[in-house]
Structure 1
Amino acid sequence: MTEREFKKSAGSTKSAKNTIIYGRTISRGEASGTVLLTKDPISFLGNVDPKTGKIVDPAHELFGKNIQDMVLVFPTGKGSTVGSYVIYQLKKNQTAPVAIINLECEPIVAVGAIISEIPLVDKLEKNPYEILKTGDRVLVNGTDGFIEIL
């Protein structure tokens, strides 16, 4: 049994800090940062300015907020396949989130995260909306498929 299988069989720890929650690896890598959470799906083409990292759609819950250097938590992506390239532009412009957590990732966000080397996990054992809030600090380990609340 690997260390991950052992930890997973024991379940997630109960305390808020240092809680480890397993999910599915989408994009490898590891990053930690501050959570910016929305229950709205994100279309990177049209919702996000790749030059500034700000959410520019006035109808979006995060309108005016900046995703740069945040752990961005949102249910899923939506919209044009060009969204993958917008995520890549965000990374090149140093305005990208440091990591992404989805309820269920779709191909547009997955491809964008992979080509931009942004760690991404989805399908967590626990609903992220029940355990995370904006301002929390988390580590996202896309390589081993878990998050840790810091």
Structure 2
Amino acid sequence: MSTVLDKPRVVIHGRKVVPGVAEGEALVTRQTISGWGGVNLMTGTVIESRHELKGVSFANKVLVFPGAKGSSGWSGIFHMAKLRGMAPVAMVFNIMTTKAALGAVVMRTPTVTECDQDPLDLIKTGDWVRVNGDAGTIEVWDKKPE
């Protein structure tokens, strides 16, 4: 039986990019992420020199970010990270680009975009997040629900 503590702090509605449901700890950045030269695909670590997440791995996290930047290599890098087991479990992004969409598709990672509220304002690193690509929803808790 669920309790009030099990209810999410906020539910954000958006548009499905990739179906499926995944949940995990959020990793949030207000900076776009470069794939080619910006990510170590062997560890899922951001290596971009001036990025606020430099040295931080997004492996097995829900990656919440504005979007992708750089070349068409973005999807290839993220796909290789997935094959190594170092990809995000889900993604939420604000700016739909072909790079971000293709990256989500090749990783088969539940992804939502075009949200009714800005996820960058409502989700913080460490929150527990469930991304439901089927329904286009993002549920956010302060900690993992019991």
**Are the counterparts in 1 of residues 131 and 139 from structure 2 also a CA contact under 8 Å?**
yes
1:69-93 deviation digits (Å, cap 9, x = unpaired): 0100110111110111111101100
Secondary structure, counterpart of 1:85 in structure 2: helix
Tell me the CA shift for residue 17 of structure 1. 2.7
Tell me the CA shift for residue 134 of structure 1. 0.5
Aligned to 1:148: 139
Aligned to 1:78: 69
Q: Which of 93, 98, 101 is the equivalent residue of 1:102?
A: 93
Is residue 2:31 matched to residue 1:64? Answer: no
Secondary structure, counterpart of 2:37 in structure 1: helix
Q: Which of 115, 135, 146 is the equivalent residue of 1:124?
A: 115
TM-score computed with the length of structure 1 as normaliser? 0.86
Structure 1 CA distance for aligned equivalents of residues 51 and 125 of structure 2: 16
1:34-90 deviation digits (Å, cap 9, x = unpaired): 110001001111111000111111200100001000100110111110111111101
Letter in 1 for 2:112: V
**Are the counterparts in 2 of residues 28 and 114 from structure 1 also a CA contact under 8 Å?**
no
Is residue 2:22 matched to residue 1:22? Answer: no
Structure 2 CA distance for aligned equivalents of residues 26 and 58 of structure 1: 29
Gaps of at least 5 residues in structure 2 are 1-6, 142-146
The count of corresponding residues between Structure 1 and Structure 2 is 135
After the TM superposition, which parts of structure 1 deviate over 3 Å for at least 4 consecutive aligned residues? none
Letter in 2 for 1:73: V
Structure 1 CA distance for aligned equivalents of residues 136 and 35 of structure 2: 23
Structure 1 CA distance for aligned equivalents of residues 59 and 67 of structure 2: 18
Structure 2 CA distance for aligned equivalents of residues 129 and 74 of structure 1: 7
Aligned to 2:23: 32
Gaps of at least 5 residues in structure 1 are 1-15
Aligned to 2:126: 135
Structure 1 CA distance for aligned equivalents of residues 18 and 50 of structure 2: 29
Query: CA RMSD for the aligned pairs?
Result: 1.2
Secondary structure, counterpart of 1:60 in structure 2: coil
Q: Structure 1 or 2: larger helix share?
A: 1
Seq. identity, % = 36
Secondary structure, counterpart of 2:75 in structure 1: helix
Q: Structure 1 or 2: larger strand share?
A: 2
**Are the counterparts in 2 of residues 56 and 64 from structure 1 also a CA contact under 8 Å?**
yes
TM-score computed with the length of structure 2 as normaliser? 0.88
